[in-house]
Amino acid sequence: MKIAVYPGSFDPVTFGHLDVIKRARKIVDLLYVAVTENPVKEPIFSVPERVELLKEVTRDIDGVKIDRFDGLLIHYANKINAEAIIRGLRAVSDFEYEFQMALTNRKLSDNIETIFMMPSESYSYLSSTMIKEIAKLGGDLSHFVPQVVIEKIKKKYKE
């Protein structure tokens, strides 16, 4: 059984993330989508809230487990017996950071490969950061994130 982990902050999950999840599922039997804190990115949702949203939007996709992890990704990946780390690559701007992380992770744990997946071009410009900006300014998010995410964002901003 091929197991992989797709880590990220998923704050919030977008159609781009879902696209990567579906593509990754074609090459592995079990995909752990693992949420981690990323305080640098000024989160709108807590980790448990992000996990809950991911669970809702992946309910109909087989072979996907939603989880969270703290600490080193490599430790988590080894714990769940993952053979690969899945990451999404959108534009050249993603490359440098992803390249550095993939090679660092390889140094830390040589038994785990990083696999990059390209989303459909219609999602290749989408980022959670952009979603947060649009949400703050009250723009229409329906092209970018599932309806449940829009509802949760609206509720958040009312609070």
Q: How far from each other are the two terminal CA atoms of the chain, in whole angstroms?
A: 44
Active-site annotation holder among 9, 25, 127, 128: 128
Considering beta carbons, is residue 38 or 78 the nearer one to ligand ADP? 38
Residues 6+ apart with CB under 8 A from 11: 38, 41, 43, 44, 45, 50, 128, 132
- Does 127 qualify as catalytic in the annotation? no
- Does 68 qualify as catalytic in the annotation? no
Give the sign of the dihedral formed by CA 52, CA 141, CA 16, CA 36.
negative
> Over the range 87-104, which residues count as b (16 or more CB within 10 Å of their CB) and which as e?
bbbbeeeeeeebeeebee
Active-site annotation holder among 17, 50, 132, 152: 17
Q: Residue 88: beta bridge partners?
A: 117
- Residue among 122, 124, 121 at smallest CA distance from 93: 124
- Sites of contact with ligand ADP (CB under 6 A): 8-10, 14, 16-17, 20, 38, 87-88, 90, 94, 119, 123-124, 126-128
- Does 17 qualify as catalytic in the annotation? yes
Considering beta carbons, is residue 37 or 83 the nearer one to ligand ADP? 37
Active-site annotation holder among 90, 127, 132, 152: 90
Q: What SS3 class is residue 88?
A: strand
Q: Residue 31: beta bridge partners?
A: 4, 64
CB of 14 to ligand ADP, least distance (A): 6
Active-site annotation holder among 41, 79, 136, 143: 41
CB of 74 to ligand ADP, least distance (A): 14
Considering beta carbons, is residue 1 or 40 the nearer one to ligand ADP? 40
- Does 128 qualify as catalytic in the annotation? yes
CB of 144 to ligand ADP, least distance (A): 9
Considering beta carbons, is residue 25 or 87 the nearer one to ligand ADP? 87
Catalytic residue set: 17, 41, 90, 128
